[in-house]
Amino acid sequence: MGGRQLIVFPVLYFILIPAVTGHGYIKSWASDDHQFQKAQKQPLSATAFRSAPSNIGWIGSQFINSPAIVCGASETPKETVAAPGGTLFSAADQSAKKTLAVNAGSKVTLIVAGNEGEGFPHPTGHMLAYLGYCGKSSTACQDFDASKTDYHRIQAEVDGIPAKLRKHFDSEHDGHRWEVPIPKNIVDGSYILRIEM
């Protein structure tokens, strides 16, 4: 497998409707070799996945310039104005200890799960993916503040959850399969892969 290689540090963002009660998660992920690695719900030292913090509040204009990376609208009390909380990778305990080598022009495959045997629990929504560049070295993202990079959208599937994701249940991995294509003209280096569902 020749060609440029990327080091990917996935970050999961869930943008959820406040009424939902169940939560999905990224169970595992793989590059072209299909050697799936466990993703969320693992000790931070054992995975490259990082979940975003849960408080987005009802963000008032005074917080609009906050660099924090946030998600989890369903976990914030309704009509509570609060500063969004949290950054990723800027603290030592959030540093990514693992990476995934991905060739430019290939894809990253995600297994999105929920309750056992059910896959992703939400029936509607869009699927988006972004890349954020950390630097050229294989360790560039390890002490990198993910709020300080520019993210470039590489995938946008309107109604991707009902139209595509939920149609591809993978019984072997007990979750719905989703593929994120990586651009072939991207420069070598370490990247953060940001997923929004």
60 located within any domain: no
- Could you tell me the residue range of the domain that residue 132 belongs to? 5-51+97-196
* Predicted pLDDT of residue 163: 93
Counted domains in the chain: 1
pLDDT of residue 13: 36
pLDDT score at 176: 92
42, 86, 123, 160 alpha-carbon torsion, rounded to 10°: -100
| Per-residue pLDDT at 99 exceeds 50 | yes
130 is a domain residue: yes
* CATH code for the domain in which residue 107 is found: 2.70.50.70
Q: pLDDT tens, 130-172?
A: 888 888 887 777 766 666 778 888 999 999 888 998 898 999 9
Q: Please tell me the least confidently modeled range out of 17-21, 75-79, 95-99, 111-115.
A: 17-21
Tokens 């953060």 appear where? 192
Quick: pLDDT tens for 87-98. Answer: 444 555 555 567
| CA separation for the pair 49, 28 (Å, rounded) | 9
177 pLDDT above the threshold of 50:
yes
Residue 15, in any domain of the structure? yes
Cβ contacts of 56 within 8 Å, gap of 6 or more? 70, 71, 72, 73, 76, 84
Is 76 within a domain?
no
Asked whether residue 66 is domain-assigned, the answer is no
In a domain, 187, yes or no: yes
pLDDT at position 83: 52
Answer yes or no: is 79 within a domain: no
